[in-house]
Structure 1
Amino acid sequence: MIRTLYLFASAAPPVFDIAKVIEDAQTRSWDVCLGLTPTAARWLENSLDGLAALTGHPIRSEYKLPGQPDVWPPADIILVAPATFNTMNEWALGLTSKFVVGVMAEGIGKGIPTVTMPCVNAAYVQHPQFERSVETLRGAGVTVLYGEGGFVPNRPGQGRPEGYPWHLALDAAEAVGPR
């Protein structure tokens, strides 16, 4: 059975591995629709056509205009990774000026299983809003892969994008998504 995975990514260095993540998800029988924050879309600008060909769907980073048809099938699950400090806080606070954050916020209300894995440095997580955002999202039913068994922050400037645990995010999507 093919299931639809909305894969939403923010502008953090692991986003450059998104094609491999899409391929991995496809081997797990997911039909992948890729949504990007505007900055992530700018970072991947030269790859967007190839990513659209890989997924078979347009890559989205902006809301559609009123009256335009939805170009994606309905989501069976939403996976948000990498989720930056900004994306996590906007989502938890319900600030939906960005397409992906709007879909994520609405997904909570629709009961769509949702998994997120942040990608933030250890300085950002000291800000009191970050922990509140993690707790708010968990309280809303979102599986947040943060801390032991998920993403563990690096010190500022010492990021290791190659060490971002994408496999944990996909495994969690498998665990909470439809079978």
Structure 2
Amino acid sequence: MTVATSAPRPVLYLFGSAAPPVLSAAQIVRHAQFRGWDVALGLTPTAAGWLQDEMSKLRRLTGHPVKSTYRRPGEPDVLPPADAVLFAPATMNSINSLALGLTTSWVVGYAAEAIGKGIPVTVVPCLNTALAAHPQFPRSVETLRGAGVRVLLGDGGFVPNDPGEERPEGYPWEAALAAAKESLER
């Protein structure tokens, strides 16, 4: 008799910067799990501070530690290998850091390494129109796209809002998760 086994779920590294949509992390993790992902959550240090009171809940939900710092030399890696990376929300600082290779946070460092390893990376910005108008931002987006990163900016992705305008309900989570899934098929 042959016992049927299910294929392992693909591993999604869901990374978030300190922008209002990161406050929906638990809901988005559940949504990604429903779509068939094994989710490992990574946060910039500031985003981790924002979600400090939810860390144990997020760990139980994902079944993995929530990472926001580099491990020490010699320490084992606590997360399964990623099949895809979804960096959402990604602030201007995180996007510019990733494009320039400034790996001062674990999530930016991992995403930078993932690009070099050929792991699909999708980035969904979250910034206002004033920040998007800074001359470095379009260069960073172009650099990332040139490196094979899918950046969801504009129609079908994130559309920057005016400074002071908050639209957390309008963040394109569906498009982000769909793009991450599509990245496995390329």
TM class by shorter chain equals over 0.9
> Is 1:121–1:159's contact at 8 Å kept on the other side of the alignment?
no
2:3 alignment counterpart: none
Distance 2:65 2:176 in 1: 23
Name the SS of the counterpart of 1:90 in structure 2: helix
1:13 alignment counterpart: 20
2:135 alignment counterpart: 128
2:32 alignment counterpart: 25
TM-score (norm 2): 0.95
Distance 1:58 1:130 in 2: 32
Q: Does 2:72 correspond to 1:72? A: no
Distance 2:11 2:133 in 1: 35
Which residue, out of 111, 116, 119, partners 2:126? 119
Cα deviation code 1:35-94 (max 9, x no counterpart) = 000000000000011000000000000000000000001000000000001000000000
Show structure 2 runs of 5+ residues with no match.
1-6
Shift in Å, 1:178: 5.1
Distance 1:24 1:13 in 2: 18
> Is 1:118–1:146's contact at 8 Å kept on the other side of the alignment?
yes
Distance 2:133 2:86 in 1: 25
Which residue, out of 141, 147, 153, partners 1:140? 147
Distance 1:106 1:174 in 2: 20
1:162 alignment counterpart: 169
Shift in Å, 1:163: 1.0
Name the SS of the counterpart of 1:57 in structure 2: coil
Q: How does 1:85-104 map to 2 (within 5 A)?
A: 85-104=92-111
Shift in Å, 1:162: 1.3
Shift in Å, 1:171: 0.6
- Paired positions, count: 179
Q: Does 2:71 correspond to 1:44? A: no
Name the SS of the counterpart of 2:178 in structure 1: helix
Compared with structure 1, are the counterparts of its residues 106 and 49 closer, same or farther at alpha carbon in structure 2 (3 Å cutoff)?
same
RMSD: 1.0
Distance 2:97 2:157 in 1: 21
Distance 2:87 2:119 in 1: 13
Show structure 1 runs of 5+ residues with no match.
none
Shift in Å, 1:153: 0.3
Distance 1:5 1:178 in 2: 14
Name the SS of the counterpart of 2:129 in structure 1: coil
Distance 1:157 1:53 in 2: 34
